Chains A and B, each alone.
Chain A
Amino acid sequence: MSAGTGSVVGGAVLAVDEAPNPWIDPSYVVDNWDSILRYLGEHVRLTVGAVVLGALIALPLALLARRSRFLAGPVLAVSTIVYTIPSLAMFAFIFPFTGLSATTVLIGLVAYSLVILVRNFLTGLRGVPDDVREAARGMGYGSAALFWKIDLPLAMPAFITGLRIATVSTVALVTVGVLVGHGGLGQLILGGFNANFYRAEIVTGTVLCIVLALLADVLLVGAERLVTPWTRAGRA
């Protein structure tokens, strides 16, 4: 072969919009079950990882902030500013350091869930009545016992509220990770867009995202009921 074949003759017409493009297409889901599950898995892993890591960092921070008035101010101020930074910008800032990886998305998600959780944890801890803590200390409770037996159970409703807000927000935020190629279900949403505006793919990604968020919320409400049975009595 000495000449490239396949050159386009001028005047070739591109018919752009002919095939049907239904919004809901069960055959899409059936055909692409593997990749859907893969993205769903990534989405769940990122969400759970971010909220758990956020909680692990937020709790000590909240305890510190409760103890020291001096620290509470900067912690809350910095968290407000971080909270205001849009997610696209946040992931873009982290990208030069960790590249096109799930780690980039995870760091950003941890930052946001941290911010939400610190506030709610602090509210919860501050909501524990001082006289109860005094009484417990008078009975000889050490710091650890004070935390596990008094603070944690009484602050649990506020903690779980924070976890619910953080989880639902995180599920939505993971989708912005498409910026660095790790958006979980967001890859279906943007991928469908790039694949010739494939509506069924986009709708699948969207619906799964919403279902995941609501499911997580319901699970956390259930967890709260399990962990704080005493709050059920006495509710109007």
Chain B
Amino acid sequence: MNAFEEAIVYLNDPFNWTRRDGILELLGEHLAISVVAVLAAFVIAFPIGVFLGASRRGGGSVVVVSNVSRAVPTLALLTLFAVSPIGFGNRATTIALTIFAIPPILANTYVGVRGVDADVREAARGVGMSRGQVIRRVDLPLAMPLIMTGLRTAAVQVVATASLAALVGGGGLGRMVRLGFGQQNYGLIIAGALLIALLAVLTELVLVLLTWAVTPGPKRFPWNPARRAAVAPGSEPTAAGMPL
């Protein structure tokens, strides 16, 4: 029986899902860490991005933050936290992941808000809207696609890198992979990898749907062919997107 077949057998057994330290428990842990990290990053990065974008300042530093964060391996930060007083529990993992989720949200929010056409903003001011109203009723809706892209990039990245926490004593689905290597249980390795990959892909899908729902403008359902001419590629990897 090869590794993939063993993995199916492992996943097929309900005991592996419901026991202590079983799949459901690890999945819950993984999701809890991810959700908290993304929300915390959003709360921190979104206001800064909006402010910088609306006032058209600080573009340079946003890019620098993006580039540097892409250059820092997540495993390194998780390990550094693990050997510092912060430790290697779920709280430490969440803090580390929050730090990594900030650059994509910050960069995309900044670019999105900043990219709003100056004419539209002027028209809004001309109509009598205050600065705050311009931001709320003009900038944000128009920037929404990019803001959601940033959120989506951050979410997938967090879900993916949360799997690394297990290598340095943390929790989450990565524990299955680590245990598999330790016990030479190839089925367990593949089962864990399958679940991690699936979770990341589902996160992406959920957020794509959310983006579609939240984006203003005429909504076309995905199964209706969009009759557009050239489809520009490169919609994915944004300023700080990395496959981690």
Q: Report the stretch among B38-46, B91-99, B117-125, B192-200 that lies at the interface.
A: B192-200
Chain B residue nearest to A79 in the complex (CB): B236
Give every chain B residue within 8 A of A116 (Cβ-Cβ): 237, 243
Beta-carbon contact of A88 and B164 below 8 Å: yes
Chain B, interface size category, equals: 35 or more
For the complex, is A145 an interface residue (Cβ under 8 Å from B)?
Answer: no
For window 59-106 of A, CB contacts with B under 8 Å fall at 72, 76, 80-81, 83-90, 92-93, 95-96
Complex contacts, B196 vs chain A, CB 8 Å: 86, 88-89
B156–A88 CB distance below 8 A: no
Partner among B2, B67, B161, B180 whose Cβ is within 8 Å of the Cβ of A217: B67
Most buried by A among B72, B79, B186: B79
- Residues of chain B contacted by A58 (CB below 8 angstroms): none
Q: Which of B187-244 contact A (CB under 8 A)?
A: 189-190, 192-194, 196-197, 200-201, 204, 230-234, 236-237, 242-244
Q: Closest approach, in angstroms, between the C-beta of B67 and any C-beta of chain A? A: 7
- Which A residues between 164 and 206 are near B, CB-CB below 8 angstroms? 165, 168-169, 171-173, 175-176, 178-179, 186, 189-190, 192-193, 197-199, 202-203, 205-206
A190 with B234: CB separation less than 8 A? no
Whether a CB of chain A sits under 8 angstroms from the CB of B181 is yes
In the complex, whether B163 has a CB less than 8 A from a CB of chain A is: yes
Evaluate contact between A86 and B159: CB separation under 8 angstroms: yes
| Structural contact, B193 and A126, CB atoms closer than 8 A | no
User: With the chains together, A198 CA to B164 CA distance in Å?
Assistant: 19
> B interface, by DSSP: helix, strand, loop or mixed?
helix
The answer to whether B35 has its CB under 8 Å from any CB of chain A is: no
User: By the criterion CB–CB under 8 Å, are B197 and A86 in contact?
Assistant: yes
Question: A112 within 8 Å of B by Cβ?
Answer: yes
A-binding residues in B (CB < 8 A) = 2-4, 67-68, 70-77, 79-80, 82-83, 156, 159-161, 163-164, 167-168, 174, 177, 180-181, 186, 189-190, 192-194, 196-197, 200-201, 204, 230-234, 236-237, 242-244
What would 14 A/B residue contacts be, using CB atoms closer than 8 Å? Answer: A86-B244, A87-B243, A87-B244, A89-B196, A89-B197, A116-B243, A119-B236, A168-B67, A168-B70, A168-B242, A169-B244, A178-B75, A189-B75, A210-B72
Listed from nearest, the 4 A-B pairs whose CB atoms lie closest are A86-B160, A213-B71, A92-B193, A89-B193
Q: Which residues of A contact B (CB under 8 A)?
A: 21, 72, 76, 80-81, 83-90, 92-93, 95-96, 112, 115-116, 119-120, 122-123, 126, 165, 168-169, 171-173, 175-176, 178-179, 186, 189-190, 192-193, 197-199, 202-203, 205-206, 209-210, 213-214, 217
